[in-house]
Amino acid sequence: MTRLLDQAIESVRELSADRQDELARLLLQFAGIEQPTLDLTPEEAASFDESLAQAEHGEFASDEQVRAIWAKHGL
């Protein structure tokens, strides 16, 4: 394992289990290992449909709203 990959894995160990699983799925996909699709809850599906409808109508978040979301998640 390279030093950079080892450093990344050590950093991920500090994250929540859910976040670790998200990143593990991404890493497996990058490595070419197919992952099962995730089933959305009815609430998630409704939210997704609403987002698509908003995009179709040209309703997008402002730069300020995007920055607020990023800040909320520590980005």
Tokens 């402002």, residue?
Answer: 62
What is the model's pLDDT at position 14? 94
- pLDDT tens digits for 15-70? 999 999 999 999 999 999 987 887 899 999 999 999 999 999 999 999 999 999 99
Structure tokens at 25: 């799925």
Pairwise CA distance, residues 3 & 25, whole Å: 21
Kindly report whether the global pTM for this prediction surpasses the value 0.75: no
21 close to 13: Cβ distance less than 8 angstroms: no
Kindly give, in sequence order, each residue whose CB lies less than 8 Å from that of residue 54, ignoring residues fewer than 6 positions away. 60
Q: What are the residue boundaries of the structural domains of the chain, listed by start? A: 1-34
